[in-house]
Amino acid sequence: QVLSDVFNAPVFTIDTANSACLGSAYRAIHGLVAERNVSLADVVKLAPEPRLAVTPTPGAEELYRPLLKRYAELEQKVIYNPASSC
């Protein structure tokens, strides 16, 4: 629910263990067949069907929007000037 609220987006899941590894595997396959103009969408057509897990809580966007902006500012500060203190 937190991810959905912070990013103001629905969260989908699939019924498989290690879904992050599965995503990496699909990307690797895509890399292998990219020279044949195969799209990532074509590669993942056989992936398990995603299921809607949660949707954003109404009003959460107003809470998280300024926090996300501040996070992005701090991230840029660290990336472009890592010696500076945050």
Please tell me the pTM assigned to this model: 0.60
Q: Distance (Å, rounded) from C-alpha 8 to C-alpha 66?
A: 13
Residue 57 pLDDT: 97
Task: Give the model confidence (pLDDT) of 23-44 as tens digits.
Answer: 889 999 999 998 898 998 999 8
Q: Distance (Å, rounded) from C-alpha 4 to C-alpha 48?
A: 21
DSSP state string for 37-55 = T--HHHHGGGSPPPEEEE-
